[in-house]
Amino acid sequence: MFIAGIVLAALAILVSVSLHEAGHMGSAKAFGMRVTRYFVGFGPTLWSKVKGDTEYGVKGIPLGGFVKIVGMTPQDEDADDKRAMWRFPVWKRTIVMSAGSIVHFILAFMIFWGVAATAAMPNPAINPQDPFVRTVDCVQVVPDHDDCRSSDLPAPAKAAGIATGDKVLRIGSTDIAEYNDMIDAIRALPPGQPADFVVLRNGAEQTIKVTPVGVERAPRENPTGAKTVVSAVGLANSHDPALPIAVEYNVVEAAPVALDFMGRTFTGVIEAIKKFPEKIPGLWSAITGGERDPESPVSVVGASRIGGELAELGEWPSWFLVIASLNLFVGLFNLLPLLPLDGGHIAIAWFEKVRTWIYARLRKPDPGRVDYYKLMPLTYTVILIFGAFTLLTVTADIVNPITILR
């Protein structure tokens, strides 16, 4: 099942990318643009067939796909064609260039909807940042395993009487609003000195005195950073025990649930993209023998491996959610306003439109189209950076992969 999960995940990614290109092709044809080629894969051609203006085919290296729309820029060799893309209004070009991402968003929604309608979904009423806790049996001296070892320390919170399902309201004089607040407050405590933990249990507040132990930990915001001695008590995040962890929905109820889940995933993907630069040192550290940050970026290789592990565990709903999230990521990433991404072409089209409007108001001659050749150094720089980042994540996923299995 592990191998089957990997193969199916890789196939799902290939299908998604192929449909992305089909989105470009379909919208371009609908507007009357000339599309000459649509291929799944790269490299040598295994099969092709010409229908109308377009050659459809399959190539030997199944690592994506491509579509050729005539005259995407005025500088293209085929830009003189009467149906060249650059001749069409900006709004039509925008739809064509964004169609690939729109396909990814539709796929993500359909997957979220399908999972919500056929399997239990995480309860949206549960906020993982709520300071509900569960007690553990030990504080790990080296946090690299699941079960307690003889070298680990007894958990002070459990010994003091804190129970799973308690909600931490205050530690010492520090009020706790979120789970991360609790972690910061605990780490700031002096090891070996008792502290008052005020918890809410069965609607009543209780004060429990807990004596933390000192352990070496990396900074929470930088898991690969230098370790220092901080306090720990043996608490992990939990949820309100009065709320069910998962909820089942019918086909109608699943639609708004899917939209909500998609929106929250959308926000998470944006935050992940913004953190890419700061994750590079951690990826390099993981390659050279350091600990892999479980929140670090993964490549197609890493995503496929995670899919294989989920399949091995029989967690097929989670497998589909990973594929849906990956579609959201690819869709958003392609809309970044950088060449050669789709978003770069959209940004240039609207820059031309706005510039022409401003020049007209100033009664100046239309400056015309942007010269893509002058942007080639920037384009190659972006390609080089993205290529290096891809190589870094692929290497990390091979040498030191993120795993959900122990």
Which of 21, 55, 221, 278 is catalytic? The answer is 21
Cα 336 to Cα 97, 98, 340, 353, distances in angstroms = 12, 11, 10, 19
Q: Which of 165, 223, 173 is nearest to 195 (CA)?
A: 173
User: Helix axis angle, 300-312 relative to 316-333, nearest 10°?
Assistant: 160
User: What is the SS3 assignment for 241?
Assistant: coil
Q: What would you measure as the largest C-alpha separation in the chain, in angstroms?
A: 81
CA distance 54 to 38: 7
| 221: annotated active-site residue | no
In terms of Cβ atoms closer than 10 Å to its own Cβ (0-12, 13-18, 19+), residue 145 is exposed
Concatenating the DSSP letter of every residue in 133-179 gives: EEE-SEE-SS---SS--TTSEE-HHHHHT--TT-EEEEETTEE--SH
CA distance 39 to 59: 7
CA distance 44 to 354: 42
Spatial contact of 129 and 178, defined as CB atoms under 8 Å apart: yes
Concatenating the DSSP letter of every residue in 169-236 gives: EEETTEE--SHHHHHHHHHTSPTTS-EEEEEEETTEEEEEEE--EEEEE--TT-TTS--EEEEE--EE
CB neighbours of 134 closer than 8 A, spacing ≥ 6?
A: 164, 165, 235, 236, 237, 238
Q: Which of 36, 40, 92, 97 is nearest to 68 (CA)?
A: 36
What's the start-to-end Cα distance of the chain, in Å?
17
Point out the residues that are catalytic.
21
